[in-house]
Amino acid sequence: MLSGMKKELPFVDFDLFHRVLVYFKEKLDSENLILSGAELTTFEDLDKYIEFAASLGWFKKIQLQTNGRKLSDKNYLRHLIDCGVNEFFISIQGLEASHDAVTRIPGSFKETMEGIRNLEAYPVYVITNTVLTRLNYHEVTPLFALLSKGALKEIHLWNFFPMESTDTRDLLVSMKDGYELISRVVPLVEKSGKPLVLKNLPECLCFGDLAFLDNSYPVTFIGESYWKAFDENRFGLCRYRDRCRAQECWGLTHAHVEKYGDERDLLKPIL
């Protein structure tokens, strides 16, 4: 979802990182820290940043968001954990061919899966995240069947945000197709006893004893250009918005309504 915007985002040097952490703790009393970027494992000083954050003793969880490729290196993985990472959020965008096409790195799927297997040797919390698009829609069910067999703590499925007012890349999935997919994957994942976390979806389409809608976002320190693009989504569009009591619903984006209509026959107000 960041796409080419990554080149515009400012670099967070160590001094700024220090000041941001102090702000998060003193002003917001933050308990957990998420480290994210384009791909942080390519940043040579990552261990310095992690060690500093862990040394403060402020954060119960220090999460690293990553594509997981470098976790296939057991020595590198051990070093990250020794530095203080105790939660891993790993992006996986389809089965082998589709994932490699999205990452544009042949063999990246195998490296990511090896990294996930390597994590099983450590007492850390492991989450996978898949962003639902037209490119991977037909592979989510077999992918989640595969992921459910591992030692993951959570499996996430996020609906795609185009970060523009029109779906120029033709990646959005209709809510009708999304609901049919949820109907298949919820019982599949629940059999494994793992939570399925859904994000960026209408609240009225989410169900299941171990399926949880989480449309909240953490306090985020990022460049202003991100928020400008984020606002282009123009959230909150829904035929039933004036009468719905949903607590965690973003409605539909402008790009979605432009492409698929308001899908009023599928959505329903929560009363």
DSSP bridge partners of 66: 90
| The two structure tokens encoding residue 129 | 């995240």
Give Cα separations from 211 to 154, 197, 218, 263, 268 (angstroms): 10, 6, 20, 23, 19
DSSP 127: E
pLDDT at 122: 97
Strand partners, 237: 252
Residue 270 has a pLDDT of: 94
| CB-count burial class (<10 Å; 0-12, 13-18, 19+) for 29 | exposed
The pLDDT of residue 136 is 95
Number of Cβ within a 10 Å radius of residue 92: 25
| Strand segments (E) across 133-244 | 154-159, 196-199, 211-213
pLDDT at position 102 is: 86
Residues of the chain with pLDDT > 70, as a percent, come to: 100
pLDDT of amino acid 182: 96
Residues 84, 259: Cα–Cα separation, whole Å = 44
78-129 pLDDT tens trace: 999 999 999 999 999 999 999 999 888 999 999 999 999 999 999 999 999 9
**CA end-to-end distance (rounded Å), the chain:** 32
The residue with tokens 């992918």 is: 143
What pLDDT, on a 0 to 100 scale, did the predictor assign at position 143? 97
Burial of 13 (0-12, 13-18, 19+ CB in 10 A): exposed
- Cα-Cα-Cα-Cα torsion 193, 175, 216, 189, nearest 10 degrees, comes to 10
- So what's the pLDDT on residue 5? 79
Domains and CATH numbers, the chain: 3-213+220-235 (3.20.20.70)
* pTM: predicted TM-score of the whole model, two decimal places: 0.95
Q: Identify any residues that bridge with 212 across adjacent strands, giving them in sequence order.
A: 197
Q: pLDDT digits over 197-215, tens only? A: 999 999 999 999 999 999 9
User: 124: which 2 tokens?
Assistant: 């850390």
Per DSSP (E only), the strands in the chain are 32-35, 61-66, 87-91, 125-132, 154-159, 196-199, 211-213
Digit-by-digit pLDDT tens for the chain (271 residues) are: 677 777 788 899 999 999 999 999 999 999 999 999 889 999 999 999 999 999 999 999 999 999 999 999 999 999 999 999 999 999 999 999 999 998 889 999 999 999 999 999 999 999 999 999 999 999 999 999 999 998 899 999 999 999 999 999 999 999 999 999 999 999 999 999 999 999 999 999 999 999 999 999 899 999 898 999 999 999 999 999 999 999 889 999 999 999 999 999 999 999 9
CA distances from 18 to 42, 48, 217 (A): 20, 11, 22
Q: Residue 131: which of 166, 164, 168, 89 has the closest Cα?
A: 89
